[in-house]
């Protein structure tokens, strides 16, 4: 079955440093989504990427979808303490109605 | 507009007991899903539904049953609880064709 690997599992940065999490799928994806989960909370949708090579920005967050549609990344510029949480990628396969397969997430801790 | 609601928030069961986790959404979404979240494991799909009367298995369906008699409700039944089912359970819904998932607040279940 489809597998989605996400690295790193955990990252601790100082406020103001940049942060990147990477996502790799074992199969070609139709689209990929990113979610953020604050400690004790539920996942919240951030963005969906659909096109090969797509790049989208949300303020300090930059999302990329690889040319082969098998990998993706989320980059945060100049982290803030409000960025603390776990970031998940979730890939959807190509066949018919395909369910989302979540990566295991990257936990981000930001020290002031 | 309450979004996705889940009850109860917390539950403790003894091994062998059965119970139903409730999930409801008021957004008229066609798709609904149940996930479990365990430390370091990300979100794993248990069951999902693409419409009333239609359900299918996800990655980890054993020990769980679902039904979808209305668009709004998607209960998850634990038939005979086991300690391995100790987890946080999230219900999610999405509009057909959109795929952005809205998650409920979760149910934290402990089986002793």
pLDDT in tens, A14-70: 999 999 999 999 999 999 999 999 999 999 999 999 999 999 999 999 999 999 999
What mean pLDDT do residues A76-98 have?
Answer: 91
Q: Measure the CA angle with vertex A71, ends A70 and A76; round to 5°.
A: 160
Does the pLDDT of residue B27 top 80, yes or no? Answer: yes
Give B-chain residues touching A99 at CB under 8 angstroms: 33, 45, 48, 58
Quote the CA–CA distance of B6 and B10 in Å, as a whole number: 10
A18: closest CA of chain B, how far (Å): 23
Indicate the residue of B41, B100, B106 with minimum beta-carbon distance to A42: B106
For residues A92 and A99, give the distance between their C-alpha atoms in angstroms, rounded to a whole number: 6
- Residue B98 predicted with pLDDT over 80: no
Calculate mean pLDDT across residues B75-79: 97
Question: Distance between CA atoms of B56 and B68, rounded to whole angstroms?
Answer: 11
Q: Over pLDDT 90: what percentage of chain B?
A: 91
Min Cα–Cα distance to chain A from B61, Å: 14
Peptide bond into B108 cis (omega under 30): no
Inter-chain residue contact A48 with B90, CB threshold 8 Å: no
> Band of the pLDDT at B39, cuts 50, 70, 90?
confident
Nearest chain B Cα to A97, which residue?
B50
Q: What angle do CA A31, A34, A40 make, to 5 degrees?
A: 145
> Residue A58, SS3?
strand
pLDDT at residue number A95 = 72
Task: Find, among A40, A42, A16, A26, the residue nearest to A91 by Cα.
Answer: A26
User: What's the length of chain B?
Assistant: 112
Look at A1 and B102 and tell me if their CB atoms are within 8 Å. no
Chain B nearest-CA distance from A109, in A, is 15
Is B12's pLDDT higher than 90? yes
pLDDT of residue B94: 94
Q: Which residues of A touch B (CB under 8 A)?
A: 1, 6, 9, 31, 33, 35, 41-45, 48, 88, 90, 92, 97, 99-105
């Amino acid at each position: 079955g489809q597998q989605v690997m996400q690295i790193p599992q955990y990252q601790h940065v100082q406020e103001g440093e940049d942060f990147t999490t990477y996502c790799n799928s074992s199969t070609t994806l139709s689209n990929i989504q990113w979610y953020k989960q604050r400690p004790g909370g539920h996942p919240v949708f951030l963005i969906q990427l659909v096109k090969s090579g797509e790049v989208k920005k949300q303020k300090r967050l930059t999302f990329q979808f690889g040319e082969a549609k098998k990998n993706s990344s989320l980059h945060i510029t100049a982290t803030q303490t409000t960025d603390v949480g776990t970031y998940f990628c979730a890939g959807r396969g190509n066949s018919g109605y395909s369910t989302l397969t979540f990566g295991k997430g990257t936990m981000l801790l930001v020290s002031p | 507009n309450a979004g996705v609601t889940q009850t109860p928030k917390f539950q403790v069961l003894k091994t062998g007991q059965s119970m139903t986790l409730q999930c409801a959404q008021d957004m008229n979404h066609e798709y609904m899903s149940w996930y479990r979240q365990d430390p370091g494991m990300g979100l794993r799909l248990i069951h999902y539904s693409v419409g009333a009367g239609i359900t299918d298995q996800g990655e980890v369906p054993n020990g769980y049953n679902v039904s979808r008699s209305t668009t709004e409700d998607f209960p998850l039944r634990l038939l005979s609880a086991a300690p391995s089912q100790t987890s946080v359970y999230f219900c999610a819904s999405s509009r057909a064709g959109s795929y952005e998932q809205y998650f409920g607040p979760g149910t934290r279940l402990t089986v002793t």
